[in-house]
């Protein structure tokens, strides 16, 4: 694992229109704003604004980072920005990178808002092999986590079914 400066990995961009809550009409492209609720997705809007491509990462002024596997628009007034670049090869790599950025939300707050100018010199830890970013490790790691989660859900479901059968057999 090596440390990489964010601005050496990503290109940061912001929206071009000050989208508002009133612009959400259920049509068009997803609208991303700051916050954790629904991963910052506020709804859909067809108001004309810059569209950011899928396979990017958004970061808000609280340092909340989310991988986006869909096109979206962003508010300009809440310091949400989009990160793109070569390192985001696919969803698994994007999710790994977002997890490496999770510490950002412990740094920033309403009184000390995170902006790209503040964050760009920060570092994240990324796995490497022979001096190069190890994308296969990131992909395999996320797949392994997904398998563990699925296994846990299956175990939970089996226990629930068994408990239901026990209750039913008593009646």
pLDDT of residue 166: 84
Distance CA 17, CA 60 (A): 16
Q: What is the C-alpha radius of gyration for the chain, rounded to an integer number of angstroms?
A: 20
Q: Is 43 left (phi over 0), alpha (psi -120 to 50) or beta?
A: left
pLDDT per residue as tens digits for the range 8-33: 999 999 999 989 999 999 999 999 99
b/e per residue 103-135 (b: at least 16 CB within 10 A):
ebbeebeeeeebebebbeebebebbeeeeebbb
Do 71 and 51 meet the contact criterion of CB atoms below 8 Å apart? yes
pTM (predicted TM-score): 0.86
pLDDT of residue 78: 65
pLDDT of residue 151: 85
Do 72 and 29 meet the contact criterion of CB atoms below 8 Å apart? yes
pLDDT per residue as tens digits for the range 63-121: 999 999 999 999 887 678 999 998 899 999 999 999 999 999 999 988 899 999 999 99
Distance CA 27, CA 37 (A): 20
pLDDT-derived band at 62 (thresholds 50, 70, 90) equals very high
pLDDT per residue as tens digits for the range 137-160: 999 999 999 898 888 888 898 898
Q: How far apart are the first and last CA of the chain?
A: 57
């Amino acid at each position: 694992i090596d440390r990489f400066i964010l601005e050496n990995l990503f290109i940061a961009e912001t929206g071009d229109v000050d989208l508002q809550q009133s612009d959400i009409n259920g049509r068009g492209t997803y609208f991303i704003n700051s916050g954790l609720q629904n991963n910052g997705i506020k709804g859909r809007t067809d108001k004309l604004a810059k569209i950011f491509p899928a396979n990017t990462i958004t970061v808000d002024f609280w340092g909340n980072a989310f991988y986006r596997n869909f096109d979206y628009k962003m508010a300009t007034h809440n310091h949400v920005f989009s990160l793109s670049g070569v390192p985001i090869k696919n969803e698994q790599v994007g999710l790994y990178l977002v997890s490496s950025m999770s510490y950002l939300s412990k740094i920033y707050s309403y009184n000390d808002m995170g902006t790209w100018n503040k964050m760009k010199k920060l570092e994240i830890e990324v796995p490497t092999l022979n001096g190069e970013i190890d994308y296969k490790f990131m992909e395999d790691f996320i797949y392994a986590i997904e398998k563990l989660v699925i296994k846990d859900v299956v175990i939970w479901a089996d226990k629930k079914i068994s408990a239901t059968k026990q209750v039913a057999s008593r009646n």
